[in-house]
Amino acid sequence: MNNTRVQQQIETITGRPVDRLSALSGGCVGDVFCVHMQTAPNLVAKLGDPGSGLAVEGRSLEYLSRVGKFPVPEVLHADDDLLLMTFLKNGGGLGAGAQAHGGKIVAALHDITTDQGFGLEFDTVIGGLNQPNPWTPKWVDFFMNQRLLYMGLEALRAGRLPIELMRRLEKFSQNLSRWLSEPERPALIHGDMWTGNVLSDQGRITGFIDPAVYYADPEIELAFTQMFATFGDAFFNAYQQTRPIAEGFFEERVQIYNLYPLLVHVRLFGGGYVNSVDGTLRKFGY
C-alpha cells in the first residue's frame, strides 16, 4: 500500500485531514509511521500484508485495555493491511523512576485472572509468528506443548533448529516439573515485554505496544524482561511490594522460561540463538 492510499484511508477512518507520514523505528511485521494530522493529535500507523497478524495485534491491544486496564495505544482501526493507533510519547528512557512505575503497572496486570485455565480465547502473535493459546488446565502442560515444543518444531521446520537439539528439547520438556510448579492462578500477561515495546516519558511509563497476550504463570513475563535487560532492581522492587517472587526464580526459572523467546529468535533468525538454546539445555543436564 503506497503512502497516498494510506493517507486517504486514514482520512476516511478518522474524518480528518492528514498532513504527512514520517517513518518510525521498529516494525518487525511491517513499516511503522507517525501520522501527522492537520487538526488533531498525531497517530501511529503500522502497515502489513494479508496474514501479517496486525488484526490480531489490534485485538490484543484492545483486550489489554478492556480487561486488564493496561496502558496501551487506543486502536482506531485494525486489519492485516493497517493498524491505526493513538500516538504515545516516548523518549524518556527506562530510568529508575520509569522502572518503578512499570513494576506497579505490571504487578496490577498480573493480578488479572481467569477461571478458564492457561491460554486465551484467540491465538496471538509474537514477532509476527503465530502463538497458539488453547485453554489448558495445567500451566506446565501449556508451557511444554504450546510454547517450547510448538516453537521448537516451527524452528525445526524452518531449518534453523538442528534435529538433535529438538530431541534434547523434547526430553527436557518432559521433565519440566522438576523445576516448575503450578502457579496459584493464571495471570494476564503482555507476553513480549522487551525494551522496544515499553514506552516512557519524563520518568513515567506511557504505554506498552506489540503484545503477545495470554494467561500464564506471570514468571514467564518477568523472565522475558531479563533476556534483553529491559528492567532491573527498581522494577522488581516495586513489583514485589504487591507480588512477591518465589525463591529460585532468578537462579533457575528465568533461564527455563527464556527458552521460549530464544526459540522464537531461533525460528526468526537462527544463528547464535541456537547456541543459547544449547547452553540452557546443557545447564539443566540435557
Catalytic residues, by residue number, are 192
Q: Which has the closest alpha carbon to 191: 165, 155, 215, 156?
A: 215
Asked if 50 and 58 count as a contact pair (C-beta separation under 8 A), the reply is: no
The CA distance from 91 to 72, in Å, is: 16
